Chains A and B, each alone.
Chain A
């Protein structure tokens, strides 16, 4: 249920090519209300983070609006660009189905349930911030969130932590943000291009860049 590009990406791509793409056609003329409703249901039920997993279940498996390969390609764009994967994905898929209007209703659908709920909680919190029971509960939630975030980071990064180059990029990024308190903009502008250059396409193979991970193994 934790879907990440790394876990889902590898096998999905191979499978998509093998299974024959001819079967998939982008649905035409899906009504806007149906797009909105589908994303609304995903937005209202995707508890616990990892909205991408719910999107995959809803869009690829239940609705068949996308096949695995198109889903992964949308995820790839969402991850490389700023913004949350969940909202970026919704916008991209909505746009594929019904253009700009589709993108807008998909975005609204996936965010409105959570936005309304968090606002209700936020207003209640503002008027009960000094209540010891509210405080104690949120202290517990905050502590648990740290555990969850750590677990999710380790799960998504399991592959990366094993490689020397990736582990170095991870540690440098953590050091810059958490300990040197360098602004995120500078981290993105320095570590990002450097990391992509390390993995730049090699001349000897056209399609896929040779993985510098190779020699270290």
Chain B
């Protein structure tokens, strides 16, 4: 039971810290899930993050799988509620009072100030995943390929390049055994 409470607690904390969205909260998620609570290994975290990438909707739905790994289906439900309800309630309440600040110059200050911080947090998120996901020249090549695809070919859905990375991994890595635990 205490593990269930930990799952609820960790993901509720991450929920209120998730300013700037899912990528921004990745380093903290990894720190709590892998380093603090030892619920997952580094590689499992990378794998589960990958699962979140190939499903529709918000990528951070991967928190369900993390919860599932800790205490089964109940853990998945608690991670889902923990991660989405607190921030959802905050947004809901804020949207109801937001219009009272219509025309307040601080709204623009907030936007201008938050934007670069969020970019910084997203970059930190990429670095955090890279530390586990990039290991050896083939993974570097896959990452560069996906980067070029997503950055320059805007007409193609980014999911295609992520899945493409999976196919390349399947074809080349499973044969050589590289990157295997």
Contacts and interface: CB of A to CB of B under 8 A. Distances in A.
Contact of A156 (B106, B122, B162, B181): B122
Contacts of B127: 174, 178
A61 interface: no
Contacts of B160: 48
A136 B59 CA distance: 20
B107 to A, nearest CB: 7
Given A160-B116, A209-B105, A49 B146 contact: no
Given A135-B180, A141-B169, A195 B133 contact: no
Contact of B92 (A95, A122, A167): A95
Contact of A119 (B76, B107, B118, B128): B76
Contacts of B128: 178
Contacts of B126: 146, 149-150, 153
A126 B39 CA distance: 13
A144 B58 contact: no
B114 interface: yes
Contact of B19 (A81, A126, A140, A161): A81
Going nearest first, the 3 A-B pairs with the smallest beta carbon separation are A140-B169, A144-B165, A173-B120
B161 to A, nearest CB: 6
A45 B22 CA distance: 19
B7 interface: no
Contact of A84 (B60, B106, B112, B169): B60
A201 interface: yes
B162 A184 contact: no
Interface string A38-82: 000001111111110000000000000000000001101111111
- The size class of the interface chain B forms with chain A is 35 or more
Contacts of A113: 55-57
Given A48-B160, A141-B169, A209-B108, A88 B69 contact: no
B139 A143 contact: yes
B177 A121 contact: no
Given A133-B174, A184-B17, A188-B17, A83 B91 contact: yes
A181 B36 CA distance: 13
Contacts of B129: 142, 145-146, 149
B17 A80 contact: no
A191 to B, nearest CB: 5
Nearest to B68: A122
Given A140-B165, A149-B122, A125 B17 contact: no
B130 interface: yes
A84 to B, nearest CB: 5
15 contacts: A73-B98, A74-B95, A87-B87, A91-B95, A95-B95, A103-B92, A111-B61, A113-B56, A123-B68, A126-B68, A129-B47, A132-B174, A141-B169, A146-B133, A173-B124
